[in-house]
Amino acid sequence: MAFRNAVGGFIDNANPGGLSLTRNTAWRNGGTGFDLADADGTLTRNLAATNAKAVDLGSSSSGSGNSWDLGGTWDDSSLASTDPATLTGPRRADGSIPPSTFLRPKNGTDVGARL
């Protein structure tokens, strides 16, 4: 997950190499959620919601099953929870973050990260 960053979420930083992004979530970033303008990227089942811009993919990048491929409106109202308290709250005995609906699509679409 990449959220509430001043600029972008997932960025290739002008790296022309191969990047593979699967089941990530970019939310409320000040710039682009997924910026792979230069990379040879493959994006699968990612979610971009409420970023200044959802995605910027160059001609070498491709993907399928991402929120921008599916269409529709992806904003706070399309998410089950936008409260990150589960990330900063108590951990489970094994140190993991407890399961939550944070940034999961309300409609059950199988995109984005899962806690």
Rounded average pLDDT per 10-residue block, the chain, 115 residues: 98 96 99 97 98 97 97 96 94 95 96 94
Cα Rg of the chain (Å, integer): 14
**pTM listed for this prediction:** 0.94
Which is nearest to 30 in space by CA: 8, 54, 55, 57?
8
Domain spans of the chain, in order of start: 2-74
Q: What is the pLDDT of residue 115?
A: 84
Q: What pLDDT, on a 0 to 100 scale, did the predictor assign at position 8? A: 96
Q: What is the pLDDT of residue 94?
A: 97
